[in-house]
Structure 1
Amino acid sequence: MSSGFGDDQEFGFGTGLATAPSETELKPPPMYRVVLMNDDYTPMDFVVEILMVFFNMNDQQATEVMLTVHTKGKGVCGVFSKDVAETKALMVNDYSRQCQHPLLCEVEVAE
């Protein structure tokens, strides 16, 4: 049987070769934590504002994370794909600088 576009052998039709399906295992992409670092200058209410605005937390959730940052030195704001985590950290750092606060937001690989 001819396709009418030239020699079928040229395109691998009718050669009797079979290909095995690929056995690559798909893994979910690695996830990343967005972490706020404690400092001695940024007001607690500003940290709560950051958590509510950039991480969609309610007042209670934001207060809990802020207290974790304050007492333990850092706190997790959320876990995201790499691009989203890096974008959120950049936005928080930029906003903090605009508001003249030294608050630092970092990205860590979630294990």
Structure 2
Amino acid sequence: MAHLNIATGAPTTDLERVLQESFASCRRHYDKRLTLERVLIHVIEDDAARAILKECMPAGKVAELHGNMRTVVADQLAEGAKAYHWPSGWGARLAQCVPIWTAKLDDLLERRILPSEHLKQALLEAAGRAINMAKPVDLGVFLFAVVHDRIGIAASALEEHGLDRYRLVCRIAHGAATDGAERDDALAPVSDEARLVIFNDDYMRMAFVVEVLESVLAMPPDQAQACMMQIHQEGQADCGVFPLAIARAKVDDVLALARDRCEPLRAGLASA
């Protein structure tokens, strides 16, 4: 695999290393397809990525997931072997007895190891998010894309092993596995009203912010669009002043929708 420069939308050294390890694993097993599941094995073996997953999954489940992915990849290899027909006669004996020459023949005939459709989708989604954030793609952005968009067997296996999708995207987006709430408890004894504030982050989709403003806070479309742009450009925006109890309920509604859509939106209250 050719070296890839670190630039906007390109892989950082950690993701590049994981992809190269996955590519090398394909070569060792004479596998012509690099799947998302094989890549996930090597993602889990990365110390930083494994630490993030452990924060968002029940104890022991990351190791169990790793074993499950190895089984999935072994099954994929077995299915591929069934579809492959060895040449007859001396060709078969040479191919089976001298595997190094099989690899050399692959090179001479320019047989390629190609990414699976799900891996291409995950890399494309991750690159798109990285371009929007003006940063390269790291393992966090890659995991975010797989989990947020529920891509392939890999995403299904993560959920089946107890992954909290919302907790993971918040952990990657905000550096902490929180629920996105930023409440000021000091408001309770001194305030009758509160401002509801929504904060910007690099991972959240603009269309989702507009949807929140329209559906939860009942803003007209043009006002919601303007408020979304203020959040994006200034880092946060006041989205209404309400009686304290109503403001708290609306924050809960905003975050409930964020959890349902697996969007790492942050909202909080401030003095009116």
- TM-score, normalization by structure 1: 0.71
Aligned equivalents of 1:105, 1:87: Cα separation in 2: 12
Who is 1:67 aligned against?
229
3-state SS in 2 of match to 1:101: coil
Q: Which has the higher helix share?
A: 2
Offset, 1:94: 1.4
The answer to whether residue 204 in structure 2 is matched with residue 42 in structure 1 is yes
Cα shift at 1:30: 2.7
Please tell me whether Structure 1 or Structure 2 has the larger radius of gyration of its CA atoms: 1
Q: Which has the higher contact order (CA 8 A, sep 6+)?
A: 1
Correspondent of 1:82 among 216, 236, 244: 244
Q: Return the TM-score normalized by structure 2.
A: 0.30
CA contact (8 A) 1:30 1:109 kept: no
Residue of structure 1 in register with 2:5 after alignment: none
Please state if 1:57 is matched with 2:219. yes
Report which of the two has the higher share of strand. 1
Q: Does 1:100 align with 2:252?
A: no
- Once the two structures are TM-superposed, the CA of residue 97 in structure 1 deviates from its matched residue by 1.2
Q: Distance in 1 between matches of 2:217 and 2:246?
A: 11
SS in 1 for 2:203: coil
Q: How far off its partner does 1:77 sit?
A: 1.0
Residue in structure 2 matched with residue 30 of structure 1 by the alignment: 192
Runs of 4+ in 1 over 3 A off after TM superposition: none
Identical pairs, percent: 35
User: RMSD between aligned alpha carbons?
Assistant: 1.0
* 1:31–1:81 CA contact under 8 A, matched in 2: yes
CA distance in 2, matches of 1:72, 1:97: 24
